[in-house]
Amino acid sequence: MKSPFKIDIITLFPDMFKGPFDMSMLWKAQDKGLATIKLWDMREFGLGSRRTVDDTPYGGGDGMVLKPEPVVAAIEAAKAENPGAPVIIMTPGGHQYHQAMAQEYAQAPGLILVAGHYEGFDERIMAYADGQLSIGDYVLTGGELPAMVVADSVVRLIPGVLGGELSAHDESFSDGLLEYPHYTRPAEFRGVPVPQVLQNGHHAEISKWRHEKSLEKTRQYRPDLLQP
């Protein structure tokens, strides 16, 4: 039997993950033995009796910076249990996350995510990571929410998690386009009917309609995806 896909998340606030990871697909993936998620409390690697993990920045400025000693120690502990897994730092200055990355990570031996806080990481920590990711051009209080986003997007791509073989393939961004519109019963709602092509059972026509609608939706909401 194949070993479950293991995700390690290093964070100062492990309790933030309890609700999202105990529900829906993330819970089902763990319950089925398809994925395991371990939370590492960064403060357990803190220095001294107060478990210090941050300090004031060299050169002055507001806020605090995460120290290299506890963060690197936590990364090394996670790597010892999840060998071969890429280490990814969640930071607004990282590469923009997209679906192709989720697909790539889902094929990896595992995944180690490091959620930052305060003003960010001591730059020397980056040498111990394989990449830096941002989920958008905005700043959050910490890296916990981005880590949840990445974990969710990767776990749902593990075979057997979603159930249907084509579920993940047909979604937005999987083929570079936004996903086509969906309809279900009733056949008419407040005067608006389900498109007739979806009711005729002709698979080739349905496939053509869906592709056309994907292009139409992409042109309207994400024309940048159609740029050569």
How far is the C-alpha of 69 from the C-alpha of 125, rounded, in Å? 9
CATH code for the structural domain at 5-155: 3.40.1280.10
CA distances (Å), origin 45, targets 52, 70, 76, 223: 8, 5, 11, 46
The mean predicted confidence, pLDDT, of the chain is 93
Q: 170 pLDDT exceeds 90?
A: no
How far is the C-alpha of 10 from the C-alpha of 70, rounded, in Å? 11
| Average of per-residue pLDDT across 110-127 | 95
Q: How confident is the model at residue 105 (pLDDT cuts 50, 70, 90)?
A: very high
* DSSP characters over 71-108: HHHHHHHHHHHSTTPPEEEEEEEEEEP-HHHHHHHHTS
For β-strands 65-66 and 35-41, DSSP reports them as unpaired
Task: Give phi and psi for 124, each to the nearest 5.
Answer: -65, -15
| Average of per-residue pLDDT across 56-82 | 96
How far is the C-alpha of 222 from the C-alpha of 96, rounded, in Å? 16
| Average of per-residue pLDDT across 102-128 | 95
The contacts of residue 110 (CB under 8 Å, 6+ apart) are: 5, 6, 7, 8, 82, 84, 85
| Average of per-residue pLDDT across 84-112 | 96
Closest CA to 95 of 128, 64, 126: 126
Strand partners, 65: 55
Task: Give phi and psi for 70, each to the nearest 5.
Answer: -70, -35
Report domain extents, the chain.
5-155, 170-228
pLDDT at 166: 47
- Candidate from 20-29, 56-65, 115-124, 174-183 with smallest mean pLDDT: 174-183
| Global confidence as pTM | 0.89
- Per-residue exposure over 44-73, b if at least 16 CB sit within 10 Å of its own CB, e if not: ebbeeeeeebbeeeeeeeeeebbbbbbbbb
- Provide the residue count of the chain: 228
Q: For domain 170-228, is the CATH number 3.40.50.970?
A: no
Q: How confident is the model at residue 173 (pLDDT cuts 50, 70, 90)?
A: low
Structure tokens at 153: 């997007």
pLDDT digits (tens, 9 = 90+) for 208-226: 999 999 999 999 999 999 9
Q: How confident is the model at residue 2 (pLDDT cuts 50, 70, 90)?
A: confident
pLDDT at 59: 94
Respond yes or no on whether the N-terminal peptide bond of residue 186 is cis (omega within 30° of 0). Answer: yes
